[in-house]
Amino acid sequence: MRFDAAGLRKEFPILSREFDGKRLVYLDNPATTQKPRAVIDAVSRFYEHSNANVHRGAYRLAEESTAAYEGAREKVRGFLNAASVEEIIFTRGATESINLVAYAWGRKHVAEGDEIVLTEMEHHSNLVPWQLLAQEKKAVLRFVPVENDGTIDVTRAAALITPRTRLVSMTQVSNVLGTINPVRRIAELARERGALLLVDGAQSVPHMAVDVRDIGCDFFVLSGHKMLAPTGIGALYVRKAVLETMPPFHGGGDMIRQVFLDHATWNDLPWKFEAGTPNFADAVGLAAAIDFLSAVGLDALQEHERALTGYAIGRLGEMAGVTLYGPRDVALRGGVVSFNVEGVHPHDLATILDRESAVAIRAGHHCAQPLMKRLNVAATARAGFYLYNVEEDIDRLVEGIHKAEEIFKT
């Protein structure tokens, strides 16, 4: 059956917007995705019908909101195929999830001289928390290099993961290059050497089927807003045996069992790691987003994005002034395409694409400055595809690039 992206687009109210009479072409999906009516309605319905603080009230409305919140946790568990809901912690997003691990796990398990292995393609969210930890503990950061084709070489990664390595932390899909990293193989290597693996799934789980047990990772992080859900809600998966060794992250209400003036004891998992009133309304939105994605089908979605990526690489690759980054083989990448246009700064390109063609892309360093250095550029333009994008969107992008080239020639 053909993937009905045009039909799906009708479910997204914002995508009917026009600028200067032109239909909005939204290609900034790696930054955040648009929201279907089903998600918007689920959050509105929750506020209109079921809103009450969770885990506290003895009344029926609070029981209902608690059931909705814990139901959302079960949805996330099922989506990632985690073994238990105890392993799913709600956070504000991928950034907070990684900081939680760096703080609660890292400060307990990383000591002077220990090593943490990252890659050169990490988002700042999966780099700066480890720099902070390494500075505090006098630990050492090591980096798997990015090869010229935008991939990482497993042999080179294997050489960097040693008995001194406490943690390997890497993105499953690069937000710049689109590269899909071989996280399953890396998990095996880490395990053999007694290290743990954190997988940054911010750019993978919205676009492809993910199974944390099949990957064999110890930590997995995601951001709801990159997968059709509201902003401010995300999740952290931690394998239970690891989670049981971790002290709390934040202190406050809900994460405690008993509190005395001079000390406290902790709530059961996963609530020990969710201090304060959680973002339960947006967790309900995340559950609706998971239902939407599951109905679309992750394999079909990945196939659709792969076809769009192949088409985009083909069309952009024909343009004399365009440099493309990342693997040329679409089987090795997700639906993110970064590029530069000779003689046009990416920021100017993004502005012209918007003003002339109503095409929204991101330009800049994409929160991956070390990767920009590796690519020897200050910035790139980036288009990222999702379930509502069609080939015509890429045609509009290409036309817009031609216009920008003309403007800069004169």
Shortest distance (Å) from residue 257 CB to ligand C6P: 30
Is residue 217 part of the annotated active site? The answer reads no
Binding to ligand C6P, residues 175-234 (CB under 6 A): 175, 200, 202-203, 223
Using CB under 6 A as the binding rule, the residues of this chain from 27 to 86 that contact ligand C6P are 30-31
Judge whether 279 and 362 are in contact, CB under 8 Å. Answer: no
Phi, psi dihedrals of residue 120, rounded to the nearest 5° = -75, -5
Instruction: Give the residue with the Cβ less far from ligand C6P, 123 or 272.
Output: 123
Is there a contact between 312 and 338 (Cβ–Cβ < 8 Å)? Answer: no
Closer to ligand C6P at the Cβ: 125 or 389? Answer: 125
| 3-class secondary structure, 354 | helix
Contact 87, 239 (CB under 8 A): yes
Per-position DSSP letters for 77-127, written without gaps between them: HHHHT-S-GGGEEEESSHHHHHHHIIIIIIHHH--TT-EEEEETT--GGGT
**Total site size for ligand C6P, rule CB under 6 A:** 17
Minimum distance from residue 235 beta carbon to ligand C6P (Å): 11
Alpha-carbon distance values, 214 to 83, 152, 187, 211, 218 (Å): 11, 21, 10, 5, 11
Which residue among 93, 248, 278, 285 contacts ligand C6P (CB under 6 A)? 93
Q: Which one among 34, 95, 338, 357 touches ligand C6P, defined by CB under 6 A?
A: 95
Strands 196-200, 219-223: parallel, antiparallel or unpaired by DSSP? parallel
Looking at beta carbons only, is 126 or 357 nearer to ligand C6P? 126
Angle CA 159–163–169, to nearest 5: 70
Select from 207, 196, 278, 290 the least CA-distant residue to 245.
196
Segment contacting ligand C6P by CB under 6 A, of 54-62, 122-130, 206-214, 338-346:
122-130
Q: Find, among 309, 396, 379, the residue nearest to 344 by Cα.
A: 379
Q: Is 282 in the site for ligand C6P (CB under 6 A)?
A: no
Site for ligand C6P in 127-146 (CB under 6 A): none
Cα 320–Cα 323–Cα 325 angle in degrees, nearest 5: 150
Interface residue with ligand C6P among 362, 390, 393, 404 (CB under 6 A) is 362
Active-site pick, 367, 372, 377, 378: 367
Rounded to whole angstroms, how far apart are CA atoms 258 and 107?
A: 24
CB closer to ligand C6P out of 151 and 223:
223
Nearer to ligand C6P, 50 or 197 (CB): 197
- In the complex, the smallest distance separating the C-beta of residue 180 from ligand C6P, rounded to whole angstroms, is 12
Nearer to ligand C6P, 174 or 267 (CB): 174
Distance (Å, rounded) from C-alpha 139 to C-alpha 177?
28
Residues recorded for the chain: 410
Q: What is the DSSP letter of 62?
A: H
Minimum distance from residue 364 beta carbon to ligand C6P (Å) = 9
**Least CB distance from residue 361 to ligand C6P, whole Å?**
11
Question: In this complex, which beta carbon is closest to ligand C6P, that of residue 3 or of residue 220?
Answer: 220
Q: Is 366 in the site for ligand C6P (CB under 6 A)?
A: yes
Least distance (Å) between residue 149 CB and ligand C6P = 19
**Partners of 150 in beta bridges:** none
Residue showing tokens 């952290």: 236
Nearest distance, CB of residue 17 and ligand C6P, angstroms: 20
Q: Which residues are catalytic?
A: 367
Binding site residues, ligand C6P, CB under 6 A: 30-31, 93-95, 123, 125-126, 171, 175, 200, 202-203, 223, 362, 366-367
